[in-house]
Amino acid sequence: MDTDEPRPRWRLNAAYRVTPRLSLGAEYNPAAGEFSPTGNWVAHPETDRWPLVSVGTSSDRIFTPRDNQAYSATFAKTLPGGRAAPYVGVSYSEFEDGLVFPFGLNVSLAPSWDALAMHDGRNSHLLLTYKMKGANVTLMLLRMRSPGVSFGYGF
């Protein structure tokens, strides 16, 4: 990512899906020398009537100082037509010692393309993801000014 701040410059994540609804992992930010646990549990999968509810933990928001964890709950629901899915959440930030309220909208542009407009509780970001079988590439515009790229691979 193009930023002078060390923590978000490089980020490596690994996650293992323990069950279909629980993943555990780790995040390493080498420029900041930071290592943190990650985890996500889908407490309630999305249904026709009810939103997805998930709870999780990871390092605090991308531009916060190192060694701060966040703990979150997220609610997401696909809108009729299936192309757009808004989400809202609440997250406890160790850095701020308080709550922040993230929200966003994911839009399916085509079978292989998604766009995500998000606000992490303090900053807004845009992401454009190209999905392939077992992999993805995401172009990012963080804080609406810092470009970045993310590569994901599953095996």
Of 50, 30, 52, nearest to 42 by C-alpha is: 52
pLDDT of residue 52: 98
Around Cβ 102, how many Cβ atoms within 10 Å?
19
Instruction: Please state whether beta strands 113-119 and 124-132 pair in parallel, antiparallel, or not at all (unpaired).
Output: antiparallel
The dihedral of CA 44, 45, 50, 52: what is its sign?
positive
pLDDT of residue 145: 92
The arithmetic mean of pLDDT across residues 88-115, rounded, is: 97
State the pTM of this model: 0.89
The answer, yes or no, to whether residue 1 has pLDDT greater than 70, is no
Residue % of the chain over a pLDDT of 70: 97
The answer, yes or no, to whether residue 6 has pLDDT greater than 80, is no
Instruction: State the chain's mean pLDDT as an integer.
Output: 94
